[in-house]
Amino acid sequence: MEEVADGIRDAGGKAETARLDAFDEHQVEEHAGTVVDAGGSLDISFNVISHPDHLGTTVLEMGYEDFEEPVTRRLRAMWITSRAAARYMTEQGSGVILTYGGYGDPVPNYGGFQVSFGAIEALRRTLSRELGPKGVRVVTLQTGGIPEGIPDQRTRNAIEKSIAKHTMLGRAASLEDVGNAAVFAASEWGRALTATKLNITCGTIPD
């Protein structure tokens, strides 16, 4: 993160980093307050952290703990960070909460992975309904997987080929694609968007 922040600063922008536990309510709320104290407002909240997923086993062979873990963790992190941000956003009458995931066709042996994104989408709808009248928008960025986020090159290449095979564009979405979609969704260009998703699956999931 510091490397990315240095790049932003070197290019003339401003960037700050902080390390905290996204599952700890106190730390998240304290950090949100720090952001507001430093900048005067909290305008965008985008929860993108790693989660444990137990793939490759059928539901019949999987223990409930392994099935439930990604669901609970994704939902908890989204709830904690969204609530902390929304408290400030509703006071200022504006703000955008971005989430990551979206629905897709069922895939076998994915355990609770897709169920967890379904839970996030349900929470997104609830937040949209409750926060919309107070000027806060909530939008999902839906991808079919971002191979760039996989550290092992060999695994990344194999997954990238698998993802590309199922797209209409013959390629997977990139981190740059995610960034561009996030900028659009959070900017005034996307001011009419809430309670919905931006589909950047390269055609993997047609709407």
pLDDT in tens, 8-31: 999 999 999 999 999 999 999 999
Domain that holds residue 115: 40-199
Are 132 and 90 in contact, with CB atoms under 8 Å apart? Answer: no
Total number of residues shown for the chain: 207
- Reported as a pLDDT band with limits 50, 70 and 90, residue 78 is very high
Tell me whether residue 127 is in a domain.
yes
Looking at the structure of the chain, the number of domains it has is 1
Q: In what order do the strands lie in the sheet with 95-101?
A: 44-46, 95-101, 136-142, 196-199
Tell me whether residue 21 is in a domain.
no
Tell me whether residue 86 is in a domain.
yes
pTM for the whole thing?
Answer: 0.93
Tell me whether residue 99 is in a domain.
yes
Res. 104: pLDDT tops 80: no
Tell me whether residue 8 is in a domain.
no
Q: What is the CATH number of the domain that holds 101?
A: 3.40.50.720
Number of alpha carbons in the 13 Å side-chain half-sphere of residue 102: 22
Handedness of CA 48, 51, 53, 59 (dihedral sign): negative
Res. 101: pLDDT tops 90: no
Are 97 and 45 in contact, with CB atoms under 8 Å apart? Answer: yes
Tell me whether residue 30 is in a domain.
no
What stretches of the chain show up as alpha helix (H) in DSSP?
2-10, 25-39, 64-92, 113-131, 153-165, 175-186
Q: Please, what is the Cα angle at 22 between 143 and 69, to 5 degrees? A: 65
Residue with tokens 């564009």: 169
Tell me whether residue 26 is in a domain.
no
Tell me whether residue 128 is in a domain.
yes
- Give the closest residue to 168 by CA, choosing from 206, 113, 112: 206
Per-residue pLDDT tens digits for 109-137: 988 989 999 999 999 999 999 999 999 99
- Separation between Cα atoms, residue 183 and residue 173, nearest integer Å: 15
Per-residue pLDDT tens digits for 145-203: 899 988 888 888 988 998 999 999 999 999 999 999 999 999 999 999 999 999 999 99
- Give the model's pLDDT for residue 55: 85
